[in-house]
Amino acid sequence: MKILKAMSVTLMLLVLATAVPVAAIALDLQASASHGSAAAVRPSAPAPATDAALVIRHQVAHCHGWSYNGSRYGANHSAALAVGDSITVTNNDVMPQQLVQLSGPALALSTPAMSKMGATTKVTFTAPGTYVLGTKPGEDYTTGVTTTGADNVLHMRVVVS
């Protein structure tokens, strides 16, 4: 019985070792048959757009910072996105924040004011280019919030291709 199991496993490995390269050759032949154009082999659906996350928070040192997709909190971040991708900005700071575009191709900022904790806005990048986003902070929601050092000026550089 052990010999039959060992032979079965060996046979399955042999089949897999043969089938994968044969499938790759078949795809290559299909592309060659279309005059060498790899464009003949297309995915069935376009890749989904990316929805990145940018979160603003209060911090004792330098008042506020933001984190891009879970990275460290800081004043400056950058991202490389594709046309059609978007960033959802969440305000978890103790003060209202307004998302502003500082440079780059025109963006539609439909709801840039994030006037309370947990408020969000979404920016979709519809054209290639280099965009710089920032915020305009408002007054603290609560009294008695103290910070050390100069307040951070938040900047997000987004290169869209």
Q: What is the mean pLDDT of the chain?
A: 74
| Distance of alpha carbon 138 from the chain centroid | 27
Asked if residue 46 is part of any domain, the answer here is: no
Q: Bigger pLDDT: 48 or 45?
A: 48
Q: Which long-range contacts (CB under 8 A, 24 or more apart) does 150-154 make?
A: 150/62, 151/62, 151/63, 151/64, 152/62, 152/63, 152/64, 152/65, 152/74, 152/75, 153/75, 154/56, 154/64, 154/65, 154/66, 154/75, 154/76
- Give the C-alpha separation, 158 to 161, whole Å: 10
- Provide the number of structural domains found in the chain: 2
* CB distance 112 to 121 below 8 Å: yes
* CB distance 83 to 125 below 8 Å: yes
Q: How confident is the model at residue 79 (pLDDT cuts 50, 70, 90)?
A: very high
Average pLDDT for 40-60: 66
Give me the helices (H) in the chain, please.
2-33
* CB distance 116 to 82 below 8 Å: no
Q: Bigger pLDDT: 159 or 45?
A: 159
Domain of residue 56: give its range: 51-160
Looking at the structure, tell me whether residues 25 and 56 fall in a common domain.
Answer: no
Backbone angles phi, psi at 24, to 5 degrees: -65, -40
Looking at the structure, tell me whether residues 35 and 60 fall in a common domain.
Answer: no
* CATH code, domain with 100: 2.60.40.420
Looking at the structure, tell me whether residues 88 and 140 fall in a common domain.
Answer: yes
Looking at the structure, tell me whether residues 56 and 103 fall in a common domain.
Answer: yes
Q: How confident is the model at residue 5 (pLDDT cuts 50, 70, 90)?
A: low
Asked if residue 55 is part of any domain, the answer here is: yes
Q: Bigger pLDDT: 59 or 14?
A: 59
Q: How confident is the model at residue 105 (pLDDT cuts 50, 70, 90)?
A: very high
Cross-strand bridge partners of residue 121: 89
* CB distance 112 to 98 below 8 Å: yes
- Residue 117 is given by DSSP the state T
Asked if residue 99 is part of any domain, the answer here is: yes
